[in-house]
């Protein structure tokens, strides 16, 4: 019998993706479980590619109007840095300003957004706030 098409680890992995001999099946199962748990923690905002871009944000939250700066943006949401806490689950309205020279326009382009906070954390004396964008509207 031929074992053509089977990998060196017994045929369980795709060619070129053989499991390392030092990694046990139990370790591999733990790693996969850990990755699934981490990925499922924030599925709303982590299912799209993120673009690291710093833009000014005007935030209208329960605590009033505040200034913030984006850390990264995706098709589903935004992560921004601000000075105060926003509780997970709270609704937030915010406006992101895109400079005219970046978007190829004569004027800055503003995007008015409504979303919900899905995570927050402390970082370098500021708060990181992850928001899923539920609605948006471009303004010129």
Question: Looking at residue 18, what is its pLDDT?
Answer: 43
What is the average pLDDT across 66-88?
92
Mean pLDDT of the chain: 76
Task: Copy the structure tokens of residue 37.
Answer: 């748990």
**Closest residue by Cα to residue 66 from 95, 90, 87, 97:** 95
Residue 3 has pLDDT above 50, yes or no: no
Question: Looking at residue 24, what is its pLDDT?
Answer: 46
Q: What percent of the chain has pLDDT over 90?
A: 52
* Separation between Cα atoms, residue 109 and residue 136, nearest integer Å: 13
**Closest residue by Cα to residue 129 from 137, 14, 121, 90:** 121
83 or 40, which is more confident: 83
In the chain, list all ranges with CATH 2.40.10.220. 56-139
134 or 30, which is more confident: 134
* Separation between Cα atoms, residue 69 and residue 15, nearest integer Å: 45
Q: Would you list the DSSP string of 79-122?
A: EEEESS---TT-EEEEEEEE-HHHHTSSS-EEEEEEEEEEEEEE
- Residue located via tokens 């944000």: 57
* Domain spanning 56-139, CATH architecture: Beta Barrel (2.40)
Question: Looking at residue 56, what is its pLDDT?
Answer: 95
Residue 45 has pLDDT above 50, yes or no: no
Tens digit of each residue's pLDDT (9 = 90 or more) over 106-138: 999 999 999 999 999 997 888 999 999 999 999
* Separation between Cα atoms, residue 68 and residue 90, nearest integer Å: 17
What is the average pLDDT across 72-92?
92
pTM (two decimals): 0.64
Residue 8 has pLDDT above 70, yes or no: no
Identify the H or E element spanning 32. helix 25-41
> In 10 A of CB 76, how many CB atoms?
19
Question: Looking at residue 119, what is its pLDDT?
Answer: 94
């Amino acid at each position: 019998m031929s074992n053509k098409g089977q990998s060196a680890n017994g045929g369980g992995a795709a060619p070129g993706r053989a499991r390392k001999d030092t990694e046990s099946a139990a370790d591999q199962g733990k790693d996969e479980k850990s990755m699934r748990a981490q990925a499922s923690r924030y599925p709303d905002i982590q299912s799209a590619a993120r673009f690291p871009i710093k833009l000014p944000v005007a935030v209208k939250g329960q605590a009033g109007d505040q200034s913030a700066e984006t850390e990264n943006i995706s098709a589903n949401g935004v992560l921004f840095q601000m000075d105060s806490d926003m509780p997970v689950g709270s609704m937030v309205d915010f406006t992101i300003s895109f400079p005219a020279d970046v978007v190829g326009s004569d004027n800055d382009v503003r995007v008015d957004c409504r979303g919900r906070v899905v995570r927050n954390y402390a970082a370098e004396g500021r708060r990181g706030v992850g928001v899923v964008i539920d609605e948006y509207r471009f303004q010129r």
